[in-house]
């Protein structure tokens, strides 16, 4: 955790990374209406279906996922592969490997490696479907180490006309 310097009568100043920054998924906007979800995950804390909005990342219904990447922060050890997909809040599968299927341990074994995800929902002009989807990562095999960042770029289908027709 970063170092804090206390100055009487002032807020703390933080230097270095803050633990909270990596605990929760983040969303940020880019040009042209593109949004990016960024999820830092580890072999022992995989994103799963949850009712807690602060710990899950939801892709809106009918969103178009243009790109998804996994960037390795700490090499993965053990296990066989990971599936990255979308599920509804109640656990109903939208596409269990729609972002990427069977990402092999070999592709995630070195710091700095980047995997370009190529699941059926990435680049699909039909979009993600009529339900909002939570990002879920499922392991095959038993992992003992590894940490990565999953970034999903998407454009949501926004009705800006003001009508619901």
Express each pLDDT in 119-164 by its tens digit: 999 998 778 888 889 999 999 999 999 999 999 999 987 655 444 4
Beta carbons of 24 and 18 less than 8 angstroms apart: no
- What's residue 46's pLDDT? 92
CA distance 111 to 113: 6
State pTM to two decimals.
Answer: 0.78
Domain ranges of the chain: 25-155
Question: Cα(first)–Cα(last) distance of the chain, in Å?
Answer: 51
The whole-chain average pLDDT of the chain stands at 82
Q: Is the pLDDT of residue 95 over 90?
A: yes
Return the pLDDT at 163: 46
Per-residue pLDDT of 3-36, as tens digits, reads 555 555 545 455 555 444 444 456 556 667 889 9
Is 17 within 8 Å of 25 (Cβ atoms)? no
Q: What is the pLDDT, as a whole number, of residue 28?
A: 57
pLDDT at 16: 54
The Cα 121–Cα 67 span in angstroms is 10
Helix (H) or strand (E) holding 22, with range, is helix 20-23
**5-14, 48-57, 60-69: range with lowest mean pLDDT:** 5-14
- Domain at 25-155: CATH code: 2.60.120
Say which DSSP state 55 is in: T
């Amino acid at each position: 955790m970063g170092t804090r310097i206390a100055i009487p009568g002032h807020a703390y100043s933080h230097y270095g990374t803050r633990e909270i920054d990596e605990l929760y998924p983040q969303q940020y906007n880019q040009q042209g209406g593109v949004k990016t979800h960024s999820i830092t995950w580890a072999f022992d804390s995989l994103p799963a279906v949850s009712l807690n909005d602060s710990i899950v990342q939801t892709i809106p219904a009918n969103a178009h996922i243009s790109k998804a990447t996994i960037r390795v922060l700490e090499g993965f050890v053990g296990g066989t592969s990971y599936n990255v997909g979308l599920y509804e809040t109640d656990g109903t599968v939208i596409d269990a490997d729609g972002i990427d299927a069977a990402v092999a341990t070999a592709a995630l074994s070195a710091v700095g490696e980047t995997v370009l995800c190529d699941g059926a929902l990435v680049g699909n002009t039909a979009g993600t479907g009529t339900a909002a989807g939570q990002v879920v990562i499922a392991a095959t095999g038993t992992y003992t180490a590894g940490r990565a960042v999953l970034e999903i770029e998407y454009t949501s289908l926004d009705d800006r006309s003001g009508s619901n027709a």
